[in-house]
Structure 1
Amino acid sequence: MKDLTLLILYLAIPSLLYSAVKQVLTWRKSAGSKARFPGPQQFPIVGRVHDLPRFSLWLKFKEWADEHGPIYYTRALNQPFIIVSDEKIAEELLVKRGHIYSGRPQIRSLIRHKEGPAYSALMDRHDIWKTQRKWCHAAMAEAYRHHFYGHVEKEMKRYLGLLLLDPARFLDYTREYCGRVMSRLAWDDATQGRTNGDSADQTLHCMSVSGPITNTLTPLWYLPAFVNPWYNYEIWREREQRAWWLNNFRLAKNRMRRGDLPNDTWAYRYFEQLRREGNESLDQPEDQEAFASCMIGFLNLVGVVTISGPLKFFLMAMALHPEWQKKAQAEIDQVCGDRMPAIQDFANLPTVRACLKETVRWRSGVPLGVPHQAECDDEYRGVKIKKGTVILACEWALNRVPAKYPDGDNYRPERWLEPGWPTYQEPLTRYPNFREGHSMHTFGWGRRTCLGQNIVDDETFVFAAATLWAFNLGPEICPRTGQAVPIDTQATNSHVILEPLPYRISIKVRSEERGRLVLEGYHQVMRELRV
């Protein structure tokens, strides 16, 4: 093992020397520039890569923001970063100057993501990205117009039944629920839900700072394949994922030809478009099939962990804050009585929406923010920003600015419900939500804003309201000590999109009658849902 480590370091030396020379040349070039953003001290060659934690990096960025202000500079090897923790600054750079700051940085351990066609959210802005984004925007908008064709409510009835029968597996069922909704929308195949979640998790691992070490020590990526486990794993992962997407795409195409593919799927929408263009056979060259299968596949995949993480944090929040659980349940009981809540109850359940909105602020699913990259040289507040600089609007810091979020470290849903709080908006039949209003930066900025606000709004609302309608959540009690089993609310997988690490809570049906209704709903939908 020692010999292998020495070999890896030896092979990495040329790349490290190249980085050092490049950095020295950069210093000489910028020596005459006096205006600079504040920031932590930068060290030769490494910048601050040596003390940047691979896990919970957002906490370090928040610490530096408290010390250096709402915009500061740092560097990891030869990659410059500008970290922003002020909404107005982020809007000025990422929205008003979106024509400059809408690139995506290279994620070293994720192959070909900038070129496409596999990951539209991570591509540079080029024709492939524009075509896919336009198509996905229209497809998502049409599905939202029909409130996702009832798939959310049907899958929720299945979820509640599973939770009643085996509550200990609530974390697995939560991610699978999200995967099943997206796979039904994509290909009408909810059986792919679990695979969908696993595939999303593997992808996030490869694109995260906490993932392969080659995302931080990038020279290691260029080691020869026979001593490069990170490269070999990514080759395998990407090949398997794209083959899975393509297989589902072709199965859906065969169903379209037979006439039994539902018209509420994104695959149907794509094939119908081909027919309108005169392609009755639906035959396509391999590169066009790859383009379309990746477009639908990624739209399907990205909707899993982006939603399952917040839902897992919501369950945690309700278990830890029984006073808010009771307020939400009282509201649900008054509005819904003995029927499971549905999206039609949205306007009448503001407390449920406030608890969800506060969950995403309190434990952001994307605490670092998704990085933007300067596509050309620019100047801001007299400071030159070079092409290639990564701009991070750090969500963890943005969500704790005292002027907008008083008592920001604590879970306070009332900030969305009571006049006098900076985030309060009327009418409560409309606000808070995930489509508009305060704190929409959770979904990104400018031209790279996430397209998923609508499905997040529908899916999280139905999940939260239905779960609280059926169950009481609380800390699990240790049978030996009689004490509550502690929950670490900041223990996460540290991916760029978070899920909490496994935790334990008590989940008990609220009454015998609610249990009967849950099982009744479960059997009702299981007649039409494939397992």
Structure 2
Amino acid sequence: MPVSYLAFILALTALIAYRLSKVGRRPAGYPPGPPTWPLIGNLHLMPKDKAHLQFQKWAEEYGPVYSLILGTKVMIVLSSDQAIKDLLDKRSAIYSSRPDMYLGQIVSGGLRMLLMEYGETWRMIRKIVHNNLNIKAARTYVPYQDLENKAMLIGFLDTPNLFINHIRRYTNSLTTQMVFGFRTTSIDDPKLKQLFHGFEQFCEVTGTQTAALLDLFPFLRILPDFTVPLRKYAKNLHQKERELYVGHWMNVKKAIKKGTAKPCFCLDLVRAQDEENFSDDLAGYVSGSLLEAGSDTTAATLVGFVQAMILFPEVMKAAQEELDSICGDRLPTMDDEPNLPYIRGCVKESMRWMPTDILGVPHAVIRDDDYMGYKIPKGAGVMWNVWAIHMNPKRHPDPRRFDPSRYAHDNQTAAEAASNGNAAARDHFVFGAGRRLCQGMHIAERSLFLAISRLLWAFDFQKALDDNGNEITPDADDLTEGLFVLPKPFLARIVPRNSEKVAHVRAEWAKMEDLLDDELQWKVLPEGLIWRQYELATEKAV
């Protein structure tokens, strides 16, 4: 073997060995973090479950900005309101992308807006969504919310043990009306069940260690499916998800083209497709993602609220006293909101106490940056550690106590709080940050206010009893796992406060039924909705 060739091989081997020796190490200048091991970095420390608790411990140990070295990748963890304000908000131009989430993208066919990288397609979609979910548009959806809320109250009266199902139908039907133009009328609707079950599976897949390994060591992706069964599972999930989302889209698109569709978000989406010529699959995922977001997270927050009322009965009583003094023997409405500060506090505290996006959905930085003297490298994932901030006793004393009085003097909407220049004045971080801020927050807040105020006005929430008559106390720390979380199913005893309220709820629903046809869809839609009638391109030309 020639000496020059041998020298080349030795040099190449030395270079590879040197590069490998750097993998897993925390470079100088990066934010602090737990000790690393060669090649794997901090992978061995990543928890299999209850990850939010470990991330909170690291925040207490390493400070508001720390780093995790995960094989070949870096994750910067922001655990203070000020760090989120400074980076995700003020520097949103470079902190608004997403890190690679391989299995999540397989489930989504690369089309889910939640996981999409910051770019031209994402900006186009966000503009379309903004036109339909801004504050002006949100005010016009109150009749939808009023109807679905009263339907939920009837469900609580008739089958209170199925309260989670009634909550899910409430949020889902509101969203199917806004997005596709039809109501979801039954808790047994197969597409409703498919939506919630599919989203649970998506969250579980993206939260697995297998998903993390495929993100952190991309060369593993060349392995065949039989050695990575979770990837095959993800592909099957995508087929089911696509069938649901694109199926909804194609049905409403045909109706829009025929002029038979009811006003809905998809009217604007069809117009945009005419102009931009994007695929039906993308359109299906845009509309489906809105359905997903509007249904799942609001429902999860309300399930958490019910649990809180069982665990903190003194809060329920204080809220009911306020409602009785302001509303008396009538249902609360959105007009009552300014006069119900404790109920507004219940809305905010529900999102703080049981945050659905418990560790946020990571952002990604698109160029090198510096913060607090630390280097944040291009391509790093940037996590906003929602749980650690919400449970910081310096920010929220006795954080695991459900206490709406924390917000006694906070009259901000969630949008106003998110844009407040004082980071400490932000109420909670459930709706994200920067350019990834949830555009449906105005609608979500109204849905939560109506649900919380009317449920408390009409019902008492108590601990369920076992066969021996002993009370069953829900475990507030027993949460589902994954990208988004909620309390695991629990028992509750939900009883009407008195017979007069029962009669009033039924009378209100009877009025609503007069507005519905034989299939429980609107006979005539409420006035004031924002959508324009769709016109075919040939009609426009004339």
Task: Tell me, in whole angstroms, the C-alpha distance in 1 between the residues paired with 2:271 and 2:374.
Answer: 51
Q: Is residue 2:279 matched to residue 1:299?
A: no
Which residue number corresponds to residue 109 of structure 1?
103
- Residue in 2 that maps onto 1:495: 482
Residue in structure 1 matched with residue 435 of structure 2 by the alignment: 447
**Which residue of the partner structure matches residue 18 of structure 1?**
none
For structure 1, which segment, 509-518 or 56-65, has the greater mean C-alpha deviation from structure 2 after superposition?
A: 509-518
Mapped partners of 2:172, 2:324: distance in 1? 29
**Structure 2 residue 260 is the aligned partner of structure 1 residue 260:** yes
2:158 paired with 1:165: yes
Cα 1:132–1:36 change in 2 (3 A) is closer
CA shift in 2, pair 1:32/1:184, >3 Å: closer
Please give the alpha-carbon distance, in whole angstroms, between the structure 2 residues aligned to 1:55 and 1:241: 26
Per the TM alignment, residue 51 of structure 1 is displaced from its structure 2 partner at its CA by 2.8
Q: Distance in 2 between matches of 1:295 and 1:456?
A: 18
What's the secondary structure of 1:74's corresponding residue? Answer: strand
Partner of 1:146, secondary structure, is helix
Matches within 5 A, 1:51-200: 51-111=45-105, 116=110, 118-141=111-134, 144-191=137-184, 195-196=191-192, 198-200=194-196
2 CA distance for matches of 1:174 and 1:320? 19
Partner of 1:72, secondary structure, is strand
* Closer, same or farther: CA 288–28 of 1 in aligned 2, 3 Å: closer
| CA-to-aligned-CA distance 1:380-413 (integer Å, 9 cap, x gap) | 2333222221111201111133332122232221
Q: CA deviation at 1:357?
A: 0.9
In the TM superposition, what are the counterparts of 1:431-442 in structure 2 within 5 Å?
A: 431=411, 433-437=413-417, 438-442=426-430
Distance 2:500 2:412 in 1: 31
Displacement of 1:151 in angstroms is 0.9
Task: Look up the equivalent residue of 1:488 and give its one-letter code.
Answer: D
Quote the offset at 1:356 in angstroms.
1.9
Q: Which residue among 497, 514, 523 is the counterpart of 1:510?
A: 497
Q: State the number of aligned residues.
A: 489
Read off the aligned partner of 1:436 and give its amino acid letter. E
Q: Is the 8 A contact 2:24 2:40 kept in 1?
A: no
> Following the alignment from structure 2 to structure 1, what is the Cα–Cα distance between the partners of residues 482 and 502?
36
Matches within 5 A, 1:352-501: 352-417=343-408, 424-425=409-410, 431=411, 433-437=413-417, 438-480=426-468, 482-501=469-488
RMSD: 2.8
In structure 2, give the amino acid aligned to 1:256: I
Residue by residue over 1:236-274, the C-alpha shift from the partner in whole angstroms, topping out at 9 and shown as x without a partner, is: 2212222322222222233224433222x1123334667
Normalised by the size of structure 1, how large is the TM-score?
Answer: 0.85
Aligned to 1:14: none
- Identity rate of aligned residues, in percent? 27
The answer on whether the counterparts of 1:371 and 1:392 sit within 8 Å (CA) in structure 2 is yes
Gaps of 5+ in 2: 1-14, 418-425, 521-542
SS of 1:217 mapped into structure 2:
helix
3-state DSSP of counterpart to 1:361: helix
Match of 2:31 among 3, 26, 37: 37
How big is the shift at 1:337?
Answer: 2.4
- Inter-CA distance 353–171: structure 2 relative to 1 (3 Å threshold): same
Work out the CA distance in 1 between the residues paired with 2:90 and 2:389: 18
**Change over 3 Å in CA distance of 1:31–1:195 after alignment to 2:** closer
Q: Within 1, Cα distance between the matches of 2:40 and 2:300?
A: 33
Q: Which of 193, 198, 205 is equivalent to 2:201?
A: 205
Distance 1:249 1:291 in 2: 10
Change (3 A) 1:25 1:113: farther
- Following TM superposition, by how much is the alpha carbon of 1:127 offset from its aligned partner in structure 2, in angstroms? 1.2
**What is the SS of the residue equivalent to 1:174?**
helix
Q: Aligned with 2:289: secondary structure?
A: helix
CA–CA separation in structure 2 for the residues paired with 1:511 and 1:521:
16
Amino acid at match of 2:211: N
Mapped to 1, the partners of 2:142 and 2:403 lie a distance apart of 33
**CA displacement 1:144-184 (0-9 Å, x = unmatched):** 34341511110111111111111111112212211111111
Structure 1 stretch 206-215 or stretch 64-73: which is displaced more?
A: 206-215
Q: What is the Cα deviation at residue 99 of structure 1?
A: 2.0
Task: Quote the Cα distance in structure 1 between the aligned partners of 2:23 and 2:168.
Answer: 50
In the alignment, structure 1 segments of 5+ residues that lack a partner are 1-20, 278-283, 418-423, 426-430
* 1:82-128 deviation digits (Å, cap 9, x = unpaired): 11211112222212222222110111212358994x21121111111
Query: In structure 2, how many angstroms separate the alpha carbons of the residues matched to 1:291 and 1:237?
Result: 17
The equivalent of 1:5 in structure 2 is none
Cross-structure match for 1:215: 211
Q: Which amino acid aligns with 1:442?
A: V
Instruction: Specify which of 338, 343, 356 is matched with residue 334 of structure 2.
Output: 343
**Conservation of the 8 A alpha-carbon contact between 1:207 and 1:215:** no
